[in-house]
Structure 1
């Protein structure tokens, strides 16, 4: 399994573009330097009135598929 830590700051207005289907993926750079393409549906549990903000840990399975996303701060 692979784990990646990244910081995310998406405003509520920006998140609206994902919900409207205008944007298909969230692109982030992990603290390790890897560029990650993440489907916005994985961020839904973390959306607040201010959008999505914080530090996250993404875990991928042995095939590189989504396993878990947790907010760590």
Structure 2
């Protein structure tokens, strides 16, 4: 399964996830589905500005995380 979503989270907001104040990042995919994503999967995309861009999330046949890529 492949899902596309846009994400714009500021650096300070991402700190809440790393401090344990929030457990999941909730995104609405372009297909309309709501996905709960663990913040550790977003860590490679974090910059001083936060995380911005369009992403492609790939899940395996069991619905588990397989891959996350920034498209733009």
TM-score by length of 2: 0.99
User: Aligned to 2:15, what secondary structure does the other structure show?
Assistant: helix
- Matches of 1:19 and 1:28, distance apart in 2: 18
CA shift for structure 1 position 18: 0.5
What is the number of equivalent residue pairs in this alignment? Answer: 72
Ranges in structure 1 where 5+ consecutive residues have no aligned partner: none
Equivalent residue runs for 1:1-73 within 5 Å:
2-73=1-72
- Matches of 2:27 and 2:67, distance apart in 1: 16
> Runs (4+) of structure 1 moved beyond 3 Å?
none
Ranges in structure 2 where 5+ consecutive residues have no aligned partner: none
- Matches of 1:19 and 1:62, distance apart in 2: 29
TM-score by length of 1: 0.98
In angstroms, what is the RMSD of aligned CA positions?
0.3
